[in-house]
C-alpha cells in the first residue's frame, strides 16, 4: 500500500497535490469560478461571530483560517484548543457559528467541545476527514476533506486539505456577508486552483531537504519562526519535528523572539525561518538577522526573490519555494516543513509512522 514509498508519511506527503485538488473540486465551481458549499439551513450573513476549536495540527489549520476569515469576511473569530475551550466557560453569542476541525472526527476533547457548543445554542460546522465519524454525524454543516485515509500518526495531507476547505469557507462567508465582490471571489478561486501545482513545485525540493536533514538531526533544540499566517506554519513545523524525530522544537511568532526566546540562541540551536517574499518579509528578515547576530544558525525557507534579498553567507541552508500568491502560501509551505521533519526522523532512525507515546486518534480526554 505504501507503493514506492518507505513510509506512509512519505506517501501521504507526496499525495498532497492530488488530494488537495480532489478536495478543491468539491468546493469550487471551476466554470463559474465560484465557491460552492454544501446546502445549509442558515446563512453566514446572520452569523455574528465564529469560534474555531481543534487540537494539534488541526488547531494550526484553524489558526490560518482565523486570518482568512477576519481578512476576507471581517467577522470576529475566536480560536481555542479543545481541551482549554471546554473548561474556560467561553462566552458564546446566540446564533454564533462554532467550527470544529478534525482529521479523525473522534478526538475526545474536540467532540466534547462540539457538544458543549451545541448545548450553548451554537450552529455546528465541522471540517472532518472521516465522513462516518462522530463529529460528521453531529454537524449542522458538514465540510468533508477528501484526503483519503491518513495512516501516518503525523498529520500531513489531512492538514493541507483542511486548509483548502477553510479557504473556500472563508470566501463563502465573505460573499454572504457582502464583503467580497464576484470578481474578488473569482480571484480567490483562481489562486486556490493554483495550489496543487505550487505544491508539486515544492515537492521537487525533496532531495535538497533530504541532503540538509543531517544538519538538523544532530540538534537538541530547534526553533521555527514565522509571522502572520506563517506563524501557525512555524508551530506546525515544530510539532511535526518533535512528534516524529523527538527533537525538542518550538514555533514562535517572529516578533516575539526578543521578548524571551532569543536568549536560547547559540550556534547549536538551528532556527528555521519561514518568510515568503511579500509585505511581512522585511520584518521577519530583521528578526532573522537578530538571531544571526547572536550566532544563531538559520535555515531560510522562501522564494527566489526572498532568498536573493536575504542572501547571507552565515545561512546554514536555504529551501527554495515557488513564488505563490499569499493565499496559498500555507498550502505550499506546509510541504517543506513536513519534508524536513520526515527526513530528520529518517536520519535519526525513529519510527516515522508510529512515533512513541502517540496514537493516531486521541480518544481519551
Please report whether residue 107 would count as binding ligand M6R according to CB under 6 A: yes
Please report whether residue 10 would count as binding ligand M6R according to CB under 6 A: no
**Cβ closer to ligand M6R: 113 or 254?**
113
- The per-residue DSSP string of 326-338 comes to GGGHHHHHHHHHH
CA distance 341 to 311: 24
CA distance 107 to 110: 5
CA distance 166 to 150: 19
Q: Least distance from C-beta 180 to ligand M6R, angstroms?
A: 28
CA distance 353 to 21: 24
- Pairing of the two strands 248-253 and 97-102: unpaired
Q: Least distance from C-beta 137 to ligand M6R, angstroms?
A: 15
Which residue's CB atom is positioned nearest to ligand M6R?
Answer: 56
For CA atoms 208, 288, 308, 194, the dihedral sign is: positive
Q: Least distance from C-beta 149 to ligand M6R, angstroms?
A: 12
Q: Closest Cα to residue 113, out of 165, 166, 170, 52?
A: 52
Please report whether residue 17 would count as binding ligand M6R according to CB under 6 A: no
Binding mask 140-159 for ligand M6R (x = CB under 6 A): -------------xxx----
**Cβ closer to ligand M6R: 174 or 341?**
341
Q: Least distance from C-beta 361 to ligand M6R, angstroms?
A: 6
**Cβ closer to ligand M6R: 65 or 265?**
65
Q: Where are the alpha helices (DSSP H) in 91-156?
A: 108-119, 134-137
CA distance 287 to 255: 7
Sole binder of ligand M6R in the list 51, 58, 245, 332 (CB under 6 A): 58
Q: Least distance from C-beta 104 to ligand M6R, angstroms?
A: 3
**Cβ closer to ligand M6R: 57 or 318?**
57
Q: Which residues pair with 225 in a beta bridge?
A: 252, 273
Total number of residues binding ligand M6R (CB under 6 A)?
16
Q: Closest Cα to residue 168, out of 203, 127, 109, 228?
A: 127
360 labelled catalytic:
yes
Q: Which residues pair with 80 in a beta bridge?
A: 53
**Cβ closer to ligand M6R: 322 or 355?**
355
Q: Least distance from C-beta 89 to ligand M6R, angstroms?
A: 23
Please report whether residue 134 would count as binding ligand M6R according to CB under 6 A: no
Please report whether residue 108 would count as binding ligand M6R according to CB under 6 A: no
Q: Is 162 exposed, middle or buried (0-12, 13-18, 19+ CB in 10 A)?
A: buried
Q: Closest Cα to residue 60, out of 211, 191, 233?
A: 233
**Cβ closer to ligand M6R: 34 or 83?**
83
> Catalytic residue numbers?
360
Which residues form the interface with ligand M6R (CB under 6 A)?
55-58, 102-104, 107, 110, 153-155, 239, 243, 361-362
Amino acid at each position: 500500500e505504501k507503493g514506492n514509498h518507505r513510509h506512509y508519511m512519505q506517501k501521504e506527503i507526496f499525495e498532497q497535490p492530488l488530494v488537495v485538488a480532489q478536495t478543491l473540486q468539491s468546493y469550487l465551481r471551476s466554470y463559474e469560478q465560484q465557491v460552492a458549499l454544501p446546502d445549509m439551513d442558515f446563512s453566514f450573513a446572520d452569523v455574528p461571530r465564529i469560534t474555531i476549536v481543534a487540537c494539534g495540527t488541526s488547531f494550526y489549520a484553524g489558526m490560518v483560517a482565523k486570518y482568512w476569515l477576519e481578512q476576507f469576511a471581517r467577522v470576529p473569530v475566536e480560536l481555542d484548543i479543545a481541551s482549554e475551550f471546554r473548561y474556560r466557560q467561553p462566552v458564546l453569542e446566540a446564533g454564533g457559528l462554532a467550527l470544529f476541525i478534525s482529521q479523525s472526527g473522534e478526538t475526545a476533547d474536540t467532540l466534547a467541545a462540539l457538544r458543549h457548543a451545541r448545548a450553548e445554542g451554537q450552529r455546528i460546522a465541522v471540517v472532518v476527514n472521516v465522513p462516518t465519524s462522530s463529529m460528521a454525524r453531529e454537524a449542522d454543516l458538514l465540510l468533508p476533506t477528501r484526503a483519503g485515509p491518513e495512516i501516518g500518526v503525523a498529520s500531513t495531507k489531512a492538514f493541507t486539505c483542511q486548509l483548502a476547505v477553510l479557504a473556500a469557507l472563508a470566501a463563502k462567508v465573505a460573499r454572504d456577508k457582502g464583503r467580497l465582490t464576484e470578481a474578488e471571489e473569482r480571484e480567490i478561486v483562481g489562486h486556490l486552483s493554483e495550489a496543487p501545482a505550487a505544491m508539486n513545485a515544492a515537492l521537487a525540493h525533496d532531495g535538497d531537504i533530504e541532503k540538509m536533514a543531517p544538519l538538523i538531526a544532530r540538534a537538541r533544540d530547534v526553533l521555527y519562526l514565522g509571522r502572520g499566517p506563517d506563524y501557525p506554519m512555524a508551530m506546525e513545523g515544530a510539532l511535526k519535528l518533535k512528534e516524529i524525530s523527538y527533537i525538542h522544537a518550538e514555533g514562535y511568532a517572529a516578533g516575539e523572539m526578543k521578548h524571551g526566546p532569543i536568549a536560547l540562541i547559540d550556534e547549536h540551536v538551528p532556527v528555521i525561518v519561514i518568510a515568503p517574499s511579500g509585505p511581512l518579509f522585511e520584518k521577519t528578515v530583521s528578526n532573522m538577522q537578530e538571531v544571526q547576530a547572536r550566532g544563531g544558525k538559520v535555515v531560510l525557507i522562501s522564494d527566489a526573490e526572498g532568498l536573493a534579498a536575504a542572501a547571507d553567507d552565515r545561512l546554514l541552508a536555504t529551501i527554495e519555494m515557488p513564488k505563490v500568491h499569499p493565499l496559498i502560501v500555507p498550502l505550499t509551505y506546509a510541504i517543506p516543513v513536513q519534508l524536513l521533519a520526515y527526513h530528520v526522523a529518517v536520519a535519526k532512525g525513529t519510527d516515522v509512522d508510529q512515533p512513541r507515546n502517540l496514537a493516531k486518534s486521541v480518544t481519551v480526554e
